Structure 1
């Protein structure tokens, strides 16, 4: 009769610690690219009291969002 060999068991308790330390290491050392956003040209500050400058219609974008998550973009209903 043969003697059955038992394979040694790996202690899995410390595996979670090692995985956690590796996760922290990679989070700390990784470079995360930051979003720069959109470039916009803002209007200049109005120094006098009469700030009624004429703005062309094609330079104005109107966006409205209601409670039903519907978006109205330039007076047209738009999907996200």
Structure 2
């Protein structure tokens, strides 16, 4: 009997790439991608023209932005740069 303990079995690596490619295609085809719903907003009703509309909006839902005479933007009583306004 001829047994050599120094040699290891070889695996054909060419078919490994084919199997990996087929698995990739399988998962791309079968995976479902969830839809982005974004931020849900409730806009006020449209106001008829020529009338003054008033709506009760909670203070926590308001962001007050002011521009002074020097064209500086003021949010929450702090002057900020336009790049910082998000």
Q: TM-score, normalised by structure 1?
A: 0.53
**Counterpart Cα distance in 2 of 1:18 and 1:62:** 58
Specify whether residues 14 and 41 from structure 1 end up closer, same or farther in structure 2 by C-alpha distance, changes over 3 A only.
same
Runs of 4+ more than 6 Å apart: none
Number of residue pairs aligned between Structure 1 and Structure 2: 68
Q: Offset at 1:11?
A: 1.1
**Counterpart Cα distance in 2 of 1:21 and 1:15:** 10
Higher relative contact order (CA 8 A, sep 6+): 1
Gaps of 5+ in 1: 73-80
Larger Rg: 2
Match of 2:36?
35
Q: Offset at 1:57?
A: 7.6
**Counterpart Cα distance in 1 of 2:64 and 2:26:** 46
CA RMSD, Structure 1 to Structure 2 (Å): 3.3
